[in-house]
């Protein structure tokens, strides 16, 4: 998974790339810490884009889907012990081509 912050000029800047989890259709990534400055330039409302890929040994990793959030949304959604946030991971190409497409999976923040 890759996390991007949206800059003032609306460009996206990579701020974090998780480790690769091979051969797992339900991966769990290791916990990590980022400074608020690195993640969102200390703007808790700044849009964050999350891109999820399926590892391919050839190097042509398959795009699973994406979702957006903000630090504030993530913080509020996990404020209480045991509380989780969920996002549908959407692949825009599938969404636009398949009538009954809902998502390519769900990403959970615990």
Report the CATH number that the domain containing residue 9 is assigned in CATH.
2.60.40
pLDDT tens per residue across all 110 residues of the chain:
999 999 999 999 999 999 999 888 889 999 999 999 999 999 999 999 999 999 887 878 899 999 999 999 999 999 898 899 999 999 999 999 998 999 999 999 98
Distance of CA 105 to the CA centre of its chain: 12
Tokens of 77: 């959604």
Q: Which H helix or E strand runs over 13?
A: strand 12-17
List Cβ neighbours of 100 (8 Å cut-off, separation of 6 or more).
none
Query: How many structural domains does the chain have?
Result: 1
* Euclidean distance between CA atoms 17 and 5, whole angstroms: 12
In contact, 66 and 52? CB cutoff 8 Å:
yes
Range of the domain at 93: 1-107
Q: What is the pLDDT of residue 25?
A: 82
pTM of this prediction?
0.90
């Amino acid at each position: 998974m890759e996390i991007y912050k949206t800059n003032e000029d609306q460009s996206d800047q990579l701020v974090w790339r998780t480790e690769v989890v091979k051969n797992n259709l339900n991966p769990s990534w290791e916990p990590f810490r980022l400074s608020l400055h690195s993640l969102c330039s200390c703007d808790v409302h700044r849009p964050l884009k999350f891109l999820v890929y399926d590892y391919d040994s050839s190097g042509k990793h398959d795009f699973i889907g994406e979702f957006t959030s903000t630090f504030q949304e993530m913080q509020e959604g996990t404020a209480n012990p045991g509380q989780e946030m969920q996002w549908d991971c959407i692949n825009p190409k599938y969404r636009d081509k398949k009538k009954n497409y809902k998502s390519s999976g769900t990403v959970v923040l615990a």
